[in-house]
A and B are shown apart, each in its own frame.
Chain A
Amino acid sequence: MLKPLKGLLTHLLLAGGAFLSAMPFLWMLTTALKPEIALYQPPLLFPVHLEWENFVKAWQAAPFPRFFLNSAVMTVGIVLAQTLFSAMAGYAFARMRFAGRDLLFFGVLGTMMIPFPVTLIPSFLVVNALGWIDTYNALIIPRAVSAFAIFLFRQFFLSLPRELEEAALIDGAGRLTIFFRIVLPLSTPVMAASAIFSFLFAWNDFLWPLIVTNSTEMRTVQVGLAMFQGQYGVFWTLLSAAATIVTLPAVLAFLAAQRQFIAGITSTGLKE
């Protein structure tokens, strides 16, 4: 076949698909910038007149500042906890020698096979019994550890040469010193990968925050958006503005750490 023709066809197909893939995004963004009345006119992808007001209106129509604060606290808490605790556990599994290590590691991996709905009700009962409903504890602590991140860290530590640590050990350094002074500083790539996964998980999470929070003051952005949608059913300009606000941090985080994120996905997907 003619080479240039084939190239053109490839681009046409890819561009068409990419348009379909990104169109809902564009639509959300442009609807958020349209005046309400434009919705009843023939659809134009791009608004003629930009209505920034919609963002202000949406921001004020529901306690979005508060939802943002809650999501921010929860997300930062989960990212920090998952990164630190998973690095610690990954290190113990990669480097320390103790009875039952491999069994315990399989146990940790096994938790990845337990579907979330199975643990949902008892986890809710535990949180309830601890008096954590409607608190940041409920939003953060049950998700302070990630088996997937432990796996990532363990694989990474196994790939590190041991010589540095052994030298330090001979010099009389303890495990803690070695971990915090030598190992962690070498782990920034895997920490970045783990952190981006944790961030997107926490920011986008819906079902758990939905059931462990009751008051409007403790709702996260995703739960808040769902509630907002319930109230403002067909106010599409406001809804789109709210959806844009809620989506933006996830997109920015992804763009910032795209490489690590994709490397994380492909490494788990392709390991033989």
Chain B
Amino acid sequence: MNGVRLHKVPSKASRWGRTLGEWPAALFFLLPTVAVLGTFNFYPALYSLYLSLFEWNGLSPTREFVGLANYARLLASGEFWNSLRVTLLYAGGVTLLALALGLGVAVLLNQPIRGQAVYRVLYFLPVITPTVASGVVWKYLFDPTQGVVNRGLVGVGLEGPSWLSDPSWALVAVVVVGVWKRVGFNMVVYLAALQGIPKTYYEAAQLDGADSWQQFRYITLPLLAPTTFFLVVTALIDAFQVFDLVYVMTSGGPLGSTDVLGYYLYRQGFRYSELGFASAVAYVMFALIFLVTVIQFRLTRGGQGDA
């Protein structure tokens, strides 16, 4: 995805108005958009930055300007670094696993097989399931004694951990749910991309004696690269902001082992009323996501030349 290209309106349509254009009419059409996005997107994005320079509990009439002290406090906080680490582990885990599984399912589905539509729905259902409901159900599945997961493990002679209350397993469990919710999305996008690859490429490769693995390795994978890239970037951006699942399944625990940045921010802002400090956390998240977006932009710009 290379961002959006603006289509030039043909200039011959000059009867649509002169240079000043149709501002009065356009204003009417754009008023709701400008008002809502301005008030609840642009202004908050800037105000967040401003707020991150203050110490304020949200109630007191005065707020104290502290400069970059919130950021300094953040960088000195073990909790913050833990939260950053957990977020990166979650995002990396979900992104990579869901990518591989999504591609696998898409490749299998991209054949003339029966029941394709049914499979597609079954794999896609988790994507549209409300996150809260998903969290509730998976909490049950991961229940140490009554849950299906551990009962299944006992069935094969293993003893499962107590997942969500075990600091070394809780994040694994949350990642499993994150992957489960993401595979269907990746599958659908990959499938559409696979269907866009001309069959003749494979026919030519077969004539040259390439086996299925070689065809996959040297035709499918390279041609899917832009799609893979898009999926990695969108998955990372989503995963950096994860909140609902953690809220429902673990509340950031045990011992901060699932305390992702989204949850950390929520706690600081809405539990401890540290609005300035929480805004600094928000801006660190912004920086992280911005970095990914910039890398995406750079790389896709670079790849556009030979397209």
Interface set of A (CB-CB < 8 Å, partner B): 7, 10-11, 13-14, 17-18, 20-25, 27-28, 31, 39-40, 42-43, 81, 85-86, 88-89, 91-92, 95-99, 101-102, 104-105, 107-109, 111, 113-123, 125-126, 141-145, 147, 150-151, 158, 162, 166, 169-170, 174-176, 179, 200, 203-204, 206-207, 210-211, 221-223, 225-226, 229, 234, 236, 239-240, 242-244, 246-247, 250-251, 253-255, 258, 261-262, 265-266, 268-272
Main secondary structure of the interface of A (DSSP, over half): helix
By a CB distance below 8 angstroms, the chain A residues around B158 are none
By a CB distance below 8 angstroms, the chain B residues around A24 are 126, 134, 137-138, 141, 180
Convert B183-199 into 0s and 1s, putting 1 for each residue whose CB lies closer than 8 angstroms to a CB of A: 11100110011001000
Interface pair B130/A119, CB less than 8 Å apart: no
Interface pair B307/A272, CB less than 8 Å apart: yes
Given the interface contacts A21-B180, A207-B243, does A119 sit within 8 Å of B41 by beta carbon?
A: yes
* B-side interface size class: 35 or more
**21 A/B residue pairs, CB under 8 Å, sorted by A:** A17-B105, A18-B122, A23-B148, A24-B180, A43-B151, A89-B30, A92-B29, A95-B9, A96-B16, A97-B13, A104-B34, A117-B265, A144-B36, A222-B133, A226-B132, A229-B139, A242-B136, A253-B128, A266-B192, A268-B1, A272-B1
Interface pair B226/A272, CB less than 8 Å apart: yes
Given the interface contacts A92-B26, A121-B278, does A269 sit within 8 Å of B44 by beta carbon?
A: no
Interface pair A118/B42, CB less than 8 Å apart: no
Interface pair B227/A269, CB less than 8 Å apart: yes
By a CB distance below 8 angstroms, the chain A residues around B189 are 265-266, 269-270
Interface set of B (CB-CB < 8 Å, partner A): 1-4, 6-7, 9, 13, 15-17, 19-23, 25-26, 28-30, 32-34, 36-37, 39-45, 47-48, 51, 58, 101, 104-105, 108-109, 111, 113, 115, 118-119, 121-126, 128-134, 136-141, 143, 146, 148, 151, 180, 183-185, 188-189, 192-193, 196, 226-227, 230-231, 234, 237, 240-241, 243-244, 247-248, 261-262, 265-266, 269-270, 275, 278-279, 282-283, 285-286, 289-290, 293, 307
Interface pair B129/A25, CB less than 8 Å apart: yes
By a CB distance below 8 angstroms, the chain A residues around B185 are 265
Interface pair B133/A88, CB less than 8 Å apart: no
Interface pair B26/A270, CB less than 8 Å apart: no
By a CB distance below 8 angstroms, the chain B residues around A22 are 122, 125
